[in-house]
Structure 1
Amino acid sequence: MKKLLYFSLMSLGFMALGSCSLNNVSVDNHLEKYFTANHLKGSFALLDNVHETFKVYNLAQYKDSAYNPGNSFDILTSLVALETGAVTDENSLIQRKNDSSWTLSRAFKTDDTASFISLTDSIGQKTMQFWMDSLHYGNKRITASEAAFWQNDSLRITPDEQLGFTEKVYFAQFPFQKRVQRLVKELMTQESNTLYNLSYKATWQTDKDGKGSGWVLGWEEENKRVYFFTLHAEALDSQADKTALVHTLKAILTDEGFFQGKK
């Protein structure tokens, strides 16, 4: 069942995040079936940047619920690491204890927490806090006692904020060097062919109680148009994982008519 609702910019948080100026939102609850088929529950949003239309499943959770970013925080860490010179490009080696074989690209694509702990140590907590404050990233909170502070619940961000963040990465609208933003944008490329380009960062983590959750953030480019999406989900059972997240995303995008070069 689909409903067309009308919201002000402020009601969806787009004013603070700098997303496009749109005032209509299509709430599509039939997308729930793709979550449950993959043993998940959560929210999804799709922004058509050209036509300024917005589709969302589970609106209340999308705009009001905040979660730890998990390894989706690697996007911000990579931006800061490149900007500050902790690494120089995607092929730079990250200096990990007893292992210097990890490049930024490899660590980013495999969600290697140990590599990103090393990067944040190299950057320094004050510098990370400066950039989180400057970019208004979530609630901007670092727990000094936690090496991977982005995986605990002190740092939290909403799916709405994640979508705004992703859009700014794509358009290089952050106060980083353009080269830095281009490199991180390229790190997110997953599929590229004559019909479409699909870019995303998919992450999954299990908390101390054994509960799994994750994010998929990114965009799809087709016929010179770009569509931004954010998906957050929690496991319904032990069968849910990162692969289930990506399957859910692709099932929804396929249902929306993507991947055929006809959008």
Structure 2
Amino acid sequence: MRHLLFLRFAGLLVLALLMGSTTRSPAVKERDFGAYFAAYGLRGSFLVLDAATRQFMAYDVARCRQGFLPASTFKIPNTLIGLETGVVRDTAEVFRWDGVTRSFPQWNRDMSFAQALRVSCVPCYQQLARRVGAERYQQWLPRLRFGSMRVTPASVDTFWLTGPSRITQFEQIDFLQRLQRGKLPVARRTQDLTKNMLILSRGPGWVLRGKTGWTMQQGHDNGWFVGWVEQNGKAYFFALNAEPADGKPATAQFVQGRRAITEQILQREFGLLAGPAK
């Protein structure tokens, strides 16, 4: 009996190994997009996925696999969690300004949830985070599989900006694909509302959705722009991560460059975003 069980186990093991040997990881083609970054005084990495062909194209693939703090790209899963848990009723709910004047003047007012995402209002999302609480985050974050997030009661309103939380560009795109397809473990309404909030521009036959991010720690700035383009029935996902090439504090080139570099690459290298935006 033991002999038969051993043979059966051995057979299953061999089958698993054979299946594993024929499973291919997604193809990654390396491209040199360095000139786009240099034009804005930045260094970084860029990743694009053509969803139809499953072809990844990467500038500095090793860096694309490096984890960084998600910064305000975490507002995407945070929006999903806020809506799904009911701590925010809908996109029209108003976040009240706390009266503290901050260096980003667009934050110094009352605003709707949709507006808070549009202007990347950190204080608004910190209000949301305190309502959600560490315990619910610890339940929801593993379900959403958004990188490697670490939250405690002490860090509940900062864990995406400081500390050990990390996400790679490959992980950003994996998450965005599941959102775009409606495959996240939250209600369809929650996903649809979030996707609508992410629309940045549209043109003839195309729609651009995305979110920027920016961390500032001890004089070191790091920035994101992640999202996807739907054009003529096809989807293309992107994730940019960048920082000032000279290591100095961020300038207007950094702030504007994240999205500008992305749009230039998508337009010139992939023929996307064709036609005037509105």
| Band the TM-score falls in, shorter-chain normalisation | 0.7 to 0.9
1:104-115 residue pairs with structure 2 within 5 A?
A: 104-115=113-124
Code of the aligned partner of 1:83: E
Residues in 2 aligned to 1:110 and 1:201: alpha-carbon distance in whole angstroms: 10
Shift of 1:135: 2.3
Which residue pairs with 1:55 in the alignment? 57
Asked if the contact 1:49–1:225 (Cα under 8 Å) also holds between the matched residues in 2, the reply is yes
Residues in 1 aligned to 2:119 and 2:91: alpha-carbon distance in whole angstroms: 13
**SS of aligned partner of 2:111:** coil
1:83-232 residue pairs with structure 2 within 5 A?
A: 83-95=84-96, 97=98, 101-146=110-155, 147-207=157-217, 209-232=218-241
Q: How has the CA–CA distance of structure 1 residues 144 and 36 changed in structure 2, closer, same or farther, with 3 Å as cutoff?
A: farther
**SS of aligned partner of 2:30:** strand
Residues in 2 aligned to 1:178 and 1:119: alpha-carbon distance in whole angstroms: 21
Code of the aligned partner of 1:27: E
Which residue pairs with 1:7 in the alignment? none
Residues in 1 aligned to 2:70 and 2:95: alpha-carbon distance in whole angstroms: 22
Of 9, 32, 39, the match for 2:34: 32
- Pick which of 106-115 and 142-151 moved more: 142-151
Instruction: Tell me the TM-score normalised to structure 1 length.
Output: 0.85
Residues in 1 aligned to 2:58 and 2:45: alpha-carbon distance in whole angstroms: 7
- Pick which of 234-243 and 215-224 moved more: 234-243
Residues in 1 aligned to 2:259 and 2:145: alpha-carbon distance in whole angstroms: 27
Code of the aligned partner of 2:135: K
Residues in 2 aligned to 1:205 and 1:243: alpha-carbon distance in whole angstroms: 15
Instruction: Tell me the TM-score normalised to structure 2 length.
Output: 0.81
Asked if the contact 1:74–1:116 (Cα under 8 Å) also holds between the matched residues in 2, the reply is yes
Could you list the runs of 5+ residues in structure 1 that have no partner in the other structure?
1-9, 16-20
Code of the aligned partner of 1:132: L
Asked if the contact 1:188–1:200 (Cα under 8 Å) also holds between the matched residues in 2, the reply is yes
Code of the aligned partner of 2:237: F
Asked if the contact 1:43–1:58 (Cα under 8 Å) also holds between the matched residues in 2, the reply is yes
Tell me, yes or no, if structure 1 residue 241 matches structure 2 residue 243. no
Which residue pairs with 1:72 in the alignment? 73
Residues in 2 aligned to 1:140 and 1:32: alpha-carbon distance in whole angstroms: 30
Asked if the contact 1:69–1:157 (Cα under 8 Å) also holds between the matched residues in 2, the reply is yes
Which residue pairs with 1:6 in the alignment? none
Asked if the contact 1:216–1:230 (Cα under 8 Å) also holds between the matched residues in 2, the reply is yes
Code of the aligned partner of 1:25: V
Residues in 1 aligned to 2:170 and 2:115: alpha-carbon distance in whole angstroms: 28
Residues in 2 aligned to 1:156 and 1:167: alpha-carbon distance in whole angstroms: 19
Count residues with an aligned counterpart: 240
Q: Highest Rg: 1 or 2?
A: 2
Could you list the runs of 5+ residues in structure 2 that have no partner in the other structure?
1-19, 100-107
Shift of 1:143: 4.3
Shift of 1:129: 1.4
Residues in 1 aligned to 2:232 and 2:35: alpha-carbon distance in whole angstroms: 28
Which residue pairs with 2:102 in the alignment? none
Which residue pairs with 1:253 in the alignment? 266
Asked if the contact 1:203–1:216 (Cα under 8 Å) also holds between the matched residues in 2, the reply is yes
Which residue pairs with 2:15 in the alignment? none
- 1:15-37 CA-to-partner distances (Å, cap 9, x unmatched) read 9xxxxx864221002x0111111
